[in-house]
Amino acid sequence: MNQRGIYEKTPGSGVWWIRYVDAKGRLRREKAGTKSAAILLYRKRKQEALEGRKLPEKLRKAPVPALVDFSKRFLEAVRIRCATKPRTIEFYEQQTRYLLAFHFLANRRLDEIDEAAVEEFAQARRQQVGPATTNRGLAVLRRMLRLAHE
């Protein structure tokens, strides 16, 4: 009988893997070793997901920088891509300064910036300037997040 979430990636290899959905709803795969180890690990990960624990303790992942830290790398990338367009570089630098002026957004890690944070920024920015300027700031934020994702 096949057990859900446990499989041998290469049949006959003796190396077993697990496949599960974590607390955030992301599909994850993990190498477990033997079949008995895979069964135990699968049960453990499913229990963690039920308890709401977000990540396994041994997940290999680079630390996610805050928006303020990533903005330096973003501006460097803009300077390289738009080397012959000084007004474009100036625009991105200005919009980034406006973004970082909102401390509730600037100090967040990139993976913590969600729809609610973006909407909070948009509402606060609309009180200072018009809708077109707000949309320009949102476009820069979207581009920054897209570059971070890449």
The residues spanned by each domain of the chain are 6-51, 67-149
Q: What is the mean pLDDT of residues 59-73?
A: 80
Burial class (CB in 10 A: 0-12, 13-18, 19+), 9: exposed
At position 103, the amino acid (one-letter code) is H
- Inform me whether the pLDDT recorded for 48 exceeds 70: yes
Provide the 10 A C-beta neighbour count for residue 10.
8
For the chain, what is the mean pLDDT? Answer: 87
CB 147 within 8 A of CB 81: no
**Predicted confidence band of residue 89 (pLDDT cuts 50, 70, 90):** very high
- Inform me whether the pLDDT recorded for 37 exceeds 80: yes
